[in-house]
Amino acid sequence: MTFDYVVVGGGSAGCTLANRLSEDGRHSVLLLEAGPPDSNPWLHVPIGYGKTMFHPVLNWGFHTEPDPNMNGRRIYWPRGRTLGGSSAVNGLIQIRGQPEDFDGWAAQGAEGWGFRDVLPYFAKSLPSVEKIRQRSELVDAFIAGARDLGIPRNDDFNGATQEGAGYLHLTTRNGRRCSAAVAYLRPARGRANLRVETGARAGKILLEGRRARGVSYRKDGSEFSAGARKEVILAAGALQSPQLLQLSGIGPGALLQRHGIAVLADLPGVGANLQDHLALRIIYKCTRPVTTNDELRSVFAKARTGLRYLLFRSGPMAIGVMTGGLITKVLPESGSPDLQVFISTVSAEQRGAEPHRWPGFTLVYYPMRPTSRGRVEIASPDPQAAPAMHPNYLATGHDRRLMIEGARLVRRLAATPSFSPYVLEEYSPGPSVKTDEQILEAVRNAGSSGYHPCGTCRIGKDPGAVVDPQLRVHGVQGLRVVDASVMPSVVSGNTNAATVMIAEKGADLIRAAAH
C-alpha cells in the first residue's frame, strides 16, 4: 500500500490531519490507529470518562517510572487508545491558553507560532465546543466564593482574559461528547482518498538513507508496511511520537546504541523537555445533597439520572463532573495567571473510582506553567513495549511554591462566606496538613497527573530542538511531527485545544509544501 501521506495516530491531531489533508481530494491519506474504532457507547457520553479511565482496551494505561520527587511513586498516565485518542476519554475541558504562551513559543525559536499566528486555527475548531448551560447550585457557590476573594467572574476562559471564575466550555454537542473523531474524522470517512486502519500499531518509520518512505505496523498478529510518496506524519502524542522516532534511529545517540539501534540522526532532544501539569485533589464533604455523588448513590438514583439523560440529554451524564473553573495568580512575580482550579461535583478515592457514599465534591488545582522537565525514553527495542516516562515533578522551587500556594488558595476559597455553607469538612488531605512541608508531603504522596504530557519533540532551531517551525524533523526528509509533543512549553490550561490547533496549522504547512 502506498499513499501520499501516512499519519500515525488517530487521536486529536491525527483525526484533524486526516480530515484536512484529504478534504480537497488531491492526495491520498492513510490514518493508522493502534486502538479500536470509537464504537463503545461510553466514549460518547460526557460522563463516560469515569468508565474509560482504566479501560484495558480503550486506554493505554501508562505508569511513569518511580519518581524520586514523588516519594518513589509510579504515577498513572491515562492516554486514549481509540479513534479520537485522548479527546475520546478526557474531561472535555476546552481552554486555549494565554496569548503569552504562544508568543513565548515564538521567542523560543518557533517562528510563526505567536498568538496572532495561531488564533485563526483555534477559531476553526470552535463548532465542536459548547458553553455549559446547566447551572449547579454548588458551582454557583464556588464562583461566588471566588468573588469573595476578589477573583472576578469570567464567562469565557478563551476570551480577552483568562483570569476569573465561571462555567467551562466543553467539547460537546447536544449532550454528547464531540471528540476529534466525531468532529473531524466522521465527516471525512466517506472520502475515497482516505483510508483508516484501526488495530494497527506502528513499529518503525521506514527510511531510505535520511528520507522517510513509509511505516511498518502490526495488525491482527501480522506485519504490514505502508509507503508514503510525500510524507510520514507522526501524530502519536507526546509519549509515543518520540518513542517511534527513537525506535527508528532518530534520537539521543547514546540511548539508541544502548538498545542496539543504529543511529540515523543523533537528536538529543527527542524525548527530552517532557512537561505535565501536576495536580492535587482536595476533597470535601458537602453539607447538602447537591453533588453528583447523590445522583449516583443508589440504583434508583442512577436509573433516574440515566433516564434524565436519555429523555432530555441533561443532568450530570450530559456534561460530566468538571463544570466550573477558576484561574488566578498566586505568585506575585508571575506576569499573568499561574494557577488553575476546577470544581468536580463528585468525590472518590481516586479519579474514575466509585463515588463516596456521602455528599462530596473535589477541588482540583495545578500550576499552569511548571518549570520542571522530564524525559521519555524507549525501555526496549520492542515496539510493543511501553516507553519509560520520567516526569521529574517538583524538581524546581517555583513548582514547589506553587503547589503550596495553590492548596492555601483552595482552602481560603472553601472558607469564604459564599462557599463555606456547602463545606462540612475537608476529607483529604485533611485539616491536620497545615505547614508548607506537610502540604508538599501531601503532594508527594497523593499528587496526580493533570493528563497533559507535552514538549518531547519541541519546535526550535537550536541543537536541542526536534522539529523546525514547519514541524519537519531536523536532519530527516519527508518526516514531520504534528501533535502535543512539539510544544516548546506547556500552555496555561488544558492541552487538547492547543493540540487540535497544532494539527490545523500543521495541515496548512503540509499542504503548502505539496504545491
Rounded Cα distance between 7 and 13, Å, is 10
Q: Which amino acid is at 351?
A: R
Q: For residue 452, indicate whether it is catalytic.
A: yes
Answer for the pair 172, 46: CB distance below 8 angstroms, yes or no: yes
33 forms bridges with which residues in the sheet? none
Q: How far is CA 138 from the centre of its chain?
A: 26
SS3 128: helix
- Among candidate residues 27, 259, 452, 515, the one labeled active-site is 452
Position 236: which residue type? A
CA distance 439 to 45: 36
Q: In angstroms, rounded to a whole number, what is the distance separating the alpha carbons of residues 515 and 127?
A: 29
Q: Considering only CA atoms, give the Rg of the chain.
A: 22
Question: Would you state the cell numbers that stand for residue 238, as one nine-digit string?
Answer: 507526546
Residue 213, C-alpha cell as written in the block: 518512505
Give the C-alpha separation, 155 to 161, whole Å: 10
The amino acid occupying position 446 is A
The CA-to-CA distance between both ends of the chain, in Å, stands at 23
The residues near 350 (Cβ < 8 Å, ≥ 6 apart) are 448
Among 286, 284, 287, 291, residue whose Cα is nearest residue 305: 291
Q: Tell me which residues are annotated as active site.
A: 452
